[in-house]
Amino acid sequence: MNRNPIMPFVVIMVMGIVLMFALSFKGLGDAKQVAEEKKDGGKKTEEVAANPEDIYKQSCASCHGDQYQGVVGPSLKKVGGKYSKDQVKDILVNGKGSGMPGGLVAGKEEEMAKWLSKMK
């Protein structure tokens, strides 16, 4: 039997053309989605946590630990005995030193300060 040496190349070419058309149609669908996002101003809305403990898990746990034990940042277990509510709020708003950035819980500083100041 004599096999045609051109056949594998034809099969690869056909598969490439089919793949090119499939990706083109996928790109058209994505282009519509991008256009809709631009109409909205390109801003994504993030779900904001409702209570201070959820806010802590989202914004603070990576540095202060999941059990408030401190990892990169200091332990928060006795922050209420060390700082007043107003001092905690000031730290949340303005940050402290080079390690604690301010504004991580924008709009929720009062609730977080009250919650953290109760930790003793």
Residue 100's SS3 state is strand
**Higher confidence at residue 109 or residue 120?**
109
The overall longest dimension of the chain from CA atoms, in Å, is: 91
119 is in an annotated binding site: no
7 is in an annotated binding site: no
64 is in an annotated binding site: yes
What is the Cα–Cα distance from 109 to 60, expressed in whole angstroms? 13
β-bridge mates for residue 96, sequence order: 100
What is the Cα–Cα distance from 90 to 34, expressed in whole angstroms? 40
- Per domain, the residue ranges of the chain are 1-39, 52-117
- Looking at residue 71, its pLDDT comes to 84
100 is in an annotated binding site: yes
What is the Cα–Cα distance from 109 to 52, expressed in whole angstroms? 9
- Looking at residue 10, its pLDDT comes to 93
Q: Is the pTM of this model over 0.95?
A: no
* Span 8-67, pLDDT tens digits: 899 999 999 999 999 998 888 888 888 887 876 655 555 556 788 888 888 888 888 888
Please check whether residue 55 is in contact with residue 116, taking contact to mean a CB–CB distance below 8 angstroms: no
Class of domain 52-117: mainly alpha
